[in-house]
Amino acid sequence: MGLGYVVRRVLGILPALFGVLIVTFVIVHAVPGDPAQLLAGEAATPERVEEIRRDLGLDRPLPDQFATYVANVARGDLGFSTSQGRPVNAVIAERIGPTLLLSGTALCISTVLGLLLGLVAARRPFGRFDLSVNLAALVGYAVPAFWLAQLAVLLFAVRLGLFPLLGYSDIRKELSGLGHIVDVAFHLTLPAVVLALSEVALLSRVTRTG
């Protein structure tokens, strides 16, 4: 794998990224409502709304707005969130830690379980355990993760009450040290397992076949 291959792959990504920018820009402008009015509030005067619209550049032609949007994204400026009233970069930075923790935990679970199930199933090909793993893998890979997540929340969080319904930690308790780690792990268990199941199914089948 040479430098030329890497350059070609990177250049091949650029049209897809440009397409994503176009689609995102069109969707944002197609959403009903006026962002300037939303930021100004219902009691704002028309002059104040127009001032915010000028500050955001919404009074300019769409091609100019798109060019500014692409330039800002290229610099890492993702704009201003009208729903939360602060920069998008700040919103993402606030959630990047829990997101990485969730995805990393799901990756560890899927790797360990996928390899373990695949190796155990391969010891006795076409046995009961092997067939059971293959069947469970097919079902787990076919079921959409978002639908499985809703079922898991309804069953384990709402009906059985085994796991918390939402949140990163229990805001009613002031925990620190080991207690905080255990509390975060408890909140992390259900979403991490659900997120890992499809990868467990895929990795177990690949390991079994190999």
49-104: pLDDT as tens digits = 888 888 878 888 888 888 888 888 888 888 777 777 788 888 888 888 888 998 99
Instruction: Give the whole-angstrom CA distance, residue 152 versus residue 154.
Output: 6
What DSSP character marks residue 155?
I
The predicted model scores a pTM of 0.67
pLDDT higher than threshold 60 for residue 154? yes
Domain ends where: 44, 77, 110?
A: 77
Of the candidates 152, 150, 136, 121, the one whose C-alpha atom is nearest the C-alpha of residue 200 is: 136
pLDDT band at 46 (very low <50, low <70, confident <90, very high): confident
C-alpha pair distances (Å), 148 with each of 117, 153, 158: 21, 9, 14
**Quick one: which of 117, 129, 127 has its CA closest to 196?**
117
Quick one: pLDDT band at residue 2, thresholds 50, 70, 90? Answer: low
Q: Which pLDDT tens digit goes with each residue over 126-139?
A: 888 878 888 888 88
With CA atoms as reference, report the closest residue to 19 among 66, 82, 57, 79: 66
**What's the confidence (pLDDT) of residue 127?**
80
State whether 69 and 149 are in the same domain: no
Distance CA(13)–CA(184), nearest Å, equals 37
Residue range of the domain that includes 117: 92-209
Maximum pairwise Cα distance, the chain: 76
Q: Is residue 85 part of a domain?
A: no
Question: Final residue of a domain: which of 77, 110, 128?
Answer: 77
Same domain, 111 and 198: yes
- Report the 10 Å Cβ neighbour count for 39: 19
